[in-house]
Amino acid sequence: MKFLSEFRNPELVKQLLTEIHKATTQPWTIMEICGGQTHSLVKNGLLEMLPKHITMVHGPGCPVCVTPIGIIDEAIELASRPNVILCSFGDMLRVPGSNKSLLEAKASGADVRILYSPLEAVKLAAENPEKEVVFFAVGFETTAPANALSVVHAEKAGVNNYSILASHVLVPPAMEAILGDPDNLIDAFLAAGHVCTIMGIDEYYPIAEKYQTPIVVTGFEPVDLLQGILMAVQQLEQGRNEVENQYVRSVQREGNRLAQQTIREVFDISDRSWRGIGQIPQSGYEVKPKYRQYNARVKFALANTKVDGNNECMSGEIMKGLKKPHQCPHFGKRCTPEHPLGAPMVSSEGACAAYYHYQLAGLAEETTA
Amino acid sequence: MINLECPIPKFDFDVITLGHGSGGLLTHRLLQSGVFSLFSNPLLDLQHDGATLTLEGRIAVSTDSFVVSPLFFPGGNIGDLAVNGTVNDLAMCGARAKHLTLGFIIEEGLPITQLWDIMVSIRQAAHTAGVQIISGDTKVVEKGKGDGIFINTTGMGPVHPNANISHQRIQTGDKLIISGPIAAHGIAIMSLRKGLEFETTITSDTQPLCFMAEGLIENFGASVRFMRDPTRGGVASVLNEVAELTKHGFVLSQTALPIHEQVEGACEMLGLDPLYVANEGIMLAVVAPEIAEACVALLHNQYACPHAAIIGEVTTEHPGKVTIKSRIGGRRVVNFLPGEQLPRIC
């Protein structure tokens, strides 16, 4: 496949691995921010191929995992209203709220639809004028432009029975929260390539400077990830703390200006609560008062209830990189994708689910033994 | 060759109504001008409550229900699936389907033209597979209580004398063979789903597997240890079931797995793993290592399966688990799927 197979080339992978092994002289801990990167590392078996000195920790960049229970409860509550069609990206459906998931709500009769694009939801609203269509607008900076655009489109087309339940989170404040944690172990970051495709990379220079931490903007295929790791290791070994861009085929320094403009048109930056991490100031998007009639929270007068997560789940420690999924006593036992105790076990991008799906407990040890 | 041009007969109704399932005059008309004329054979023509058969030797029986949405998709419709699905289940037991029962549960409001197209496909598929429809049933449920039409088929037929198909016969060192490219059916269906529509020329792989299965058994007998058609849940689910039952380890090679580029691209775009996507016309066989190459050659040359390949083997490593060697040499586990495969956010 063009633009994919080149970045899965076994020869290049071998070459990069040799270079990483050569470059690494001491232990380094590197965090990949994005769940897509975690997924790819585990799915391709890359973790076992890296030098023992390199520890990859899996960051909070899984939007499904960090969506607070209270917001999932709100979505379920909305979906259960008789006149509401709730539309969502697929992997939000299995995430447990306080009592049930959207998938269970759907089984009990709620009208929940899986869509790939919020613009489809606007179309659905236009086709069903007697219904209220709500799009569950979850995600990082990557999904924000499309969600914002759906609001702009709805307004232009005069579709008034459409609104979004926004739960948008932002990457740079989360990185600062991790780096500012006194227990922080992270020596370098692989920044999320697709977030930077939208937002550009300027936000990362002050972070690299303030926390003296290398940041390499990295893609998602095996060759991307290994090249990103190599660039990070080279910086660490040479004592540099710079922002570098591995994912040049997608990321430009200024990002996608049009997308940023659309985000700014519809959203304000606001404080956000992250599941497993807690409140992070100025770390999310909320719909601007100007577009309040498209804000499901305002339209349906939702009470914004706060619900604490399951305290048996150590998702916070996992998403901050303090613990590995299999170090949790419940991993694969009481907590499985069928019966998750917490969010990282639910989404295919969650670190726990990635480990559960793709790694045998001890596969690495067995293979190398 | 039968005449497969079947112009729709004159029905005095456009849609199926509750009356068509009442057993009264409407049912009678639907059966007389539709079902009986289309599927005519000596056993069905008796129009009795059931068919009487004289059976000898080992017989395999299998039943399956079909609830696909949308009813019509690139490469087929629910009618083809309903015939091929049961024919294939029997083929995987080493049996050749001879007789099929056919049960319709129709939702009120189904256009008669759609029902007719489905029935014509059933006739075509039955003809291709060499199977007779010998008994049937039609029920109609109220609007909103069904999804257009549900079909159940039960098939039966004699087991090949040389067949000895069982997961208990799988041994370490056996090879895994697949007859064609994976994931085409699931992606063809997905391309039409509301909200996910995308343009593609991908078609469902629905087809009868009885001929190639019989060919393998005819030529290699008991060295063909096990066969399954990896329908819903895909290749990964079938192998996990077998791994769990047999306590053997199964290792796949990603480079050997045949998949059409378009299907692979669609899976990338939708965030789906093709190993879990449904197939309706490919066969997974576990065979003795010494015949593996010959099996693939037979599938290539005699059964028009140019993509048939050895995709892995049975090992003592990781007993009860399925693992895959990635293209770049890493290894990972291929687990059971915890429910429906859900598209990812980004």
The nearest alpha carbon in chain A to B262 belongs to A1
The nearest alpha carbon in chain A to B332 belongs to A358
The helix/strand/coil state of B248 is coil
Strand partners, B61: B156
User: Mean of the pLDDT values across residues B70-86?
Assistant: 96
Q: Which residues of B touch A64 (CB under 8 A)?
A: 345
Strand pairing category for B149-158 and B99-107: antiparallel
Closest by CA to B213, choosing from B297, B91, B308, B81, is B91
Domain architecture of chain A: domains with CATH: 1-312 (3.40.50.11740), 315-358 (no CATH)
pLDDT for B193 equals 77
Interface residue B330 vs chain A (CB under 8 A): yes
pLDDT for A306 equals 65
pLDDT for A368 equals 33
Interface residue A326 vs chain B (CB under 8 A): no
Interface residue B144 vs chain A (CB under 8 A): no
The helix/strand/coil state of A107 is helix
Please give the C-alpha separations between residue A229 and each of B24, B209, B232, in angstroms, as whole numbers: 74, 47, 38
Distance (Å) from the C-alpha of residue B228 to the closest C-alpha of chain A?
23
The nearest alpha carbon in chain B to A123 belongs to B195
Interface residue B344 vs chain A (CB under 8 A): yes
Pairwise CB contact (< 8 Å): B338 & A336: yes
Pairwise CB contact (< 8 Å): A347 & B261: no
Which of A168, A348, A355, A356 to mutate against chain B (most B CBs within 10 Å)? A348
> What string of H, E and C letters represents the secondary structure of A220-252?
CCHHHHHHHHHHHHHHHHHCCCCEEECCCCCCC
Q: Which residues contact A254 (CB under 8 A, 6 or more apart)?
A: A200, A202
Q: Which residues of B touch A347 (CB under 8 A)?
A: 344-345
Residue found by looking up tokens 């100031």 in the block: A281
Using CB atoms and an 8 Å cut-off, which of residues 248-307 of chain A contact chain B? Answer: none
Q: In chain B, where does the domain assigned CATH 3.90.650.10 lie?
A: 167-333
Interface residue B67 vs chain A (CB under 8 A): no
Pairwise CB contact (< 8 Å): A89 & B344: yes
Amino acid at the residue B147: D
How far is Cα B147 from Cα A196, in angstroms, rounded to an integer? 44
Q: How confident is the model at residue B325 (pLDDT cuts 50, 70, 90)?
A: very high
pLDDT for B210 equals 97
pLDDT for A85 equals 97
The nearest alpha carbon in chain A to B271 belongs to A348
Per-residue pLDDT tens over the stretch A14-23: 999 999 999 9
Q: How confident is the model at residue B1 (pLDDT cuts 50, 70, 90)?
A: very low
How far is Cα A222 from Cα B229, in angstroms, rounded to an integer? 32
Q: In chain B, where does the domain assigned CATH 3.30.1330.10 lie?
A: 18-49+57-158
Alpha helices in chain A, H assignment, sequence order: 10-23, 35-43, 63-66, 69-79, 102-107, 118-127, 144-157, 171-180, 193-199, 204-211, 222-238, 257-266, 296-299, 315-319, 351-358, 363-368
User: Mean of the pLDDT values across residues B197-207?
Assistant: 88
Percentages (nearest 5) of helix, strand, coil residues in chain B: 35, 20, 40
DSSP 8-state class, residue B31: I
How far is Cα A223 from Cα A242, in angstroms, rounded to an integer? 21
Indicate the burial class of A239 (C-beta count within 10 angstroms; 0-12, 13-18, 19 or more).
exposed
Minimum-distance CB partner of B333 among A140, A347, A359: A359
Q: Which residues of B touch A142 (CB under 8 A)?
A: 346
Q: Which residues contact B158 (CB under 8 A, 6 or more apart)?
A: B55, B56, B57, B58, B59, B60, B95, B96, B98
Query: Which tokens sit at A97?
Result: 């709220």
CATH 3.40.50.300 for domain B18-49+57-158 = no
Closest by CA to A356, choosing from B345, B338, B184, is B338
Q: Which residues of A touch B271 (CB under 8 A)?
A: 90, 348
Pairwise CB contact (< 8 Å): B332 & A42: yes
Q: Among the listed ranges A127-131, B17-21, B208-212, B224-228, which one has the minimum average pLDDT value? A: B17-21
How far is Cα B75 from Cα B66, in angstroms, rounded to an integer? 16
Interface residue A114 vs chain B (CB under 8 A): yes
Pairwise CB contact (< 8 Å): A360 & B318: yes
Pairwise CB contact (< 8 Å): B342 & A113: no
Residue found by looking up tokens 């489109």 in the block: A153
Interface residue B55 vs chain A (CB under 8 A): no
Regions of chain A with pLDDT less than 50: 361-362, 364-369
pLDDT for B262 equals 92
The nearest alpha carbon in chain A to B343 belongs to A90
Pairwise CB contact (< 8 Å): A1 & B328: no
Angle at which helix A171-180 crosses helix A204-211, to 10 degrees, equals 0
The nearest alpha carbon in chain B to A136 belongs to B345
Strand pairing category for A215-218 and A188-192: parallel
Distance (Å) from the C-alpha of residue A266 to the closest C-alpha of chain B?
20
Pairwise CB contact (< 8 Å): B329 & A13: yes
Minimum-distance CB partner of B326 among A44, A139, A347: A44
The pLDDT mean for chain B works out to 92
Distance (Å) from the C-alpha of residue B38 to the closest C-alpha of chain A?
38
Using CB atoms and an 8 Å cut-off, which of residues 210-239 of chain A contact chain B? Answer: 222
Angle at Cα A190 formed by Cα A39 and Cα A214, nearest 5°?
Answer: 160
Closest by CA to B313, choosing from B325, B327, B304, B301, is B325
Distance (Å) from the C-alpha of residue A338 to the closest C-alpha of chain B?
5
Interface residue B194 vs chain A (CB under 8 A): yes
* B232 Cα distance to chain centroid: 9
A153: how many CB neighbours lie within 10 A of its CB?
A: 16
pLDDT for A291 equals 97
pLDDT for A364 equals 42
How far is Cα A216 from Cα A197, in angstroms, rounded to an integer? 13
Interface residue B1 vs chain A (CB under 8 A): no
Q: Which residues of A touch B328 (CB under 8 A)?
A: 8-10, 13-14, 44-46, 222
Interface residue B323 vs chain A (CB under 8 A): yes
Q: Is B323 left (phi over 0), alpha (psi -120 to 50) or beta?
A: beta
How far is Cα B190 from Cα B198, in angstroms, rounded to an integer? 9
Residue B157 in contact with residue B39, Cβ under 8 Å?
A: no
Query: Which tokens sit at A89?
Result: 């990206």
Q: How confident is the model at residue B270 (pLDDT cuts 50, 70, 90)?
A: confident
Alpha helices in B31-110, H assignment, sequence order: 36-39, 42-45, 78-91
Alpha helices in chain B, H assignment, sequence order: 25-30, 36-39, 42-45, 78-91, 112-129, 184-190, 210-220, 234-246, 261-270, 292-302
Residue A53 in contact with residue A27, Cβ under 8 Å?
A: yes
Q: Which residues of B touch A356 (CB under 8 A)?
A: 335
B167-333 CATH: 3.90.650.10
Q: Which residues of A touch B345 (CB under 8 A)?
A: 63-64, 89-92, 138-139, 143, 347, 349
